């Protein structure tokens, strides 16, 4: 079945990025000159997904504004004779049809996805985390939609991570069924050091069947009071197969200070306007640190 809708959860507090995220949502912090969530919206739009369900929360209204029309700004750019910037601004609001749903309290990723139940309805849908950036020639979610065409069940993006970092991720235990595709046997959320079943980490892209909503409704909150998506996925795996797909591309956790800076450097070096100057600056810096 074709995937036509995508859910982008963006209602978290972003505590790892305080104080920057006190009033500015982390999803709007720029990677060079574009907010993280705009890269994600572009990934969705260029993959042929028509409708996005944005999960927002308190202090997150500016995300909706970013994807709305801005007649004052557009008139100003028209008057100033800046058709180049006008096009950039207009393109943002025309990318996809956006429906926004408010998560009243950030009660976890599983709960955020559950907020999209009514709008998604009874079809498989994509999930892209609002702070997970993937730089790829073929957009990651598009790669996954291609794989999903020939399968039933659920599909998770996975990536090999160093063994020293497995405790930071949801990790799968799986059997390779074809190139880059694993059948998931087990999922462990943030395994203790030395107890990880593999180094295949779940990354913020999913294609899920609507059945996940009913299962998430039954998931009990964890010790922190959060409803975890992984718990819903574990229940789902008892009923239908779940696969992990090792995507092709570079991933940055833009909700984490280091990941955010790494993304800015990588995208900055490729940026036509600032790339060469940034490269020179990095060379100067590295000379200073010798
Ligand atoms: P994170 O765990 O990275 O978000 O969730 P967080 O809770 O904001 O992070 P920290 O640990 O406090 O820094 C991944 C994505 O899911 C969204 C977040 O906005 C982020 O884009 N999310 C998370 C929700 O929409 N609702 C939630 O209850 C939790």
The residues spanned by each domain of the chain are 5-255
CA-based nearest residue to 130, from 42, 23, 266, 11:
11
Contacts with 205 (C-beta within 8 Å, 6 or more apart), sequence order: 126, 127, 128, 129, 132, 134, 140, 141, 144, 156, 157, 247
For tokens 């982390």, what's the residue? 26
Under DSSP, is residue 74 helix (H, G, I), strand (E, B) or coil?
helix
What are the CA-CA distances from residue 239 to residues 113, 178, 277 (Å)? 20, 22, 54
For residues 90-105, average pLDDT: 92
Burial level of 203, CB count in 10 A (0-12/13-18/19+)? buried
| Whether the Cβ atoms of residue 153 and residue 209 lie closer than 8 Å to each other | yes
**How far is the C-alpha of 44 from the C-alpha of 27, rounded, in Å?**
15
The DSSP letter of residue 162 is: -
In terms of pLDDT, which residue wins out, 139 or 2?
Answer: 139
- Over residues 144-172, mean pLDDT: 94
CATH 3.90.550.10, domain 5-255, yes or no: yes
Tell whether pTM > 0.85: yes
Q: Which one-letter DSSP state was computed for residue 241?
A: -
Looking at the chain, how many residues does it have?
Answer: 290
pLDDT in tens, 251-274: 999 999 999 999 999 999 999 999
Share of the chain above pLDDT 70, in %: 100
Report whether pLDDT(203) > 80: yes
Burial of 79 (0-12, 13-18, 19+ CB in 10 A): exposed
Distance 73 CA to ligand 1 centre (A): 31
| Distance in Å, CA 237 to ligand 1 centroid | 24
Mean of pLDDT over the chain? 95
Say how far apart CA 5 and CA 8 lie, in whole Å: 10
Mean pLDDT of 172-185: 96
Phi, psi of 73 (to 5 degrees): -65, -40
Q: Is 170 in the pocket of ligand 1 (CB under 6 A)?
A: no
The answer, yes or no, to whether residue 95 has pLDDT greater than 80, is: yes
Please report the atom of ligand 1 found closest to the CA of residue 13. Answer: 8
CA angle 68, 73, 74 (to 5 degrees): 80
Structure tokens at 190: 């943030």
CB of 11 closer than 6 angstroms to any ligand 1 atom: yes
Q: 9: CA distance to ligand 1 center in Å?
A: 7
The closest residue, in CA terms, to atom 7 on ligand 1 is 12
Of 158, 149, 123, nearest to 243 by C-alpha is: 158
**Per-residue pLDDT at 289:** 80
| Cα distance between residue 169 and residue 188, in whole Å | 9
Pairing relationship of beta strands 125-128 and 5-9 according to DSSP bridges: parallel
């Amino acid at each position: 079945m074709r995937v036509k809708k995508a859910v982008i959860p963006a209602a978290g507090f972003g505590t790892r990025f305080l104080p920057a995220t006190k009033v500015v949502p982390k999803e709007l912090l720029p990677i060079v000159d574009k907010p993280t969530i705009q890269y994600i919206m572009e990934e969705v739009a260029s993959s042929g997904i028509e409708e996005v369900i944005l999960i927002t929360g308190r202090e997150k209204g500016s995300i909706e504004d970013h994807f709305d029309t801005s007649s004052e700004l557009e008139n100003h750019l028209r008057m100033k004779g800046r058709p180049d910037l006008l096009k950039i601004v207009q393109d943002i609001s025309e990318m996809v049809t956006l429906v926004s749903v408010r998560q009243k309290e950030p009660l976890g990723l599983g709960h955020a996805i559950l907020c999209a139940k009514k709008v998604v309805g009874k079809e498989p849908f994509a999930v892209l985390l609002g702070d997970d950036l993937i730089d790829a020639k073929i957009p990651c979610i598009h790669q996954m939609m291609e794989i999903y065409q020939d399968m039933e069940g659920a599909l998770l993006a996975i990536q090999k991570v160093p063994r020293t970092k497995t405790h930071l991720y949801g990790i799968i235990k799986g059997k390779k069924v074809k190139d880059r595709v694993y059948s998931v046997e087990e999922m462990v959320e943030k395994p203790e050091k030395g107890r990880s079943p593999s180094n295949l980490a779940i990354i913020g892209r999913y294609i899920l069947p609507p059945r996940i909503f009913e299962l998430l409704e039954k998931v009990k909150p964890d010790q922190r009071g959060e409803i975890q998506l992984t718990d819903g996925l574990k229940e789902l795996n008892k009923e239908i197969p779940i696969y992990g797909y090792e995507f092709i591309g570079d991933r940055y956790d833009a909700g984490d200070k280091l990941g955010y800076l790494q993304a800015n450097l990588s995208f900055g070096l490729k940026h036509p306007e600032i790339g060469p100057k940034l490269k020179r600056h990095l060379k100067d810096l590295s000379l200073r640190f010798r």
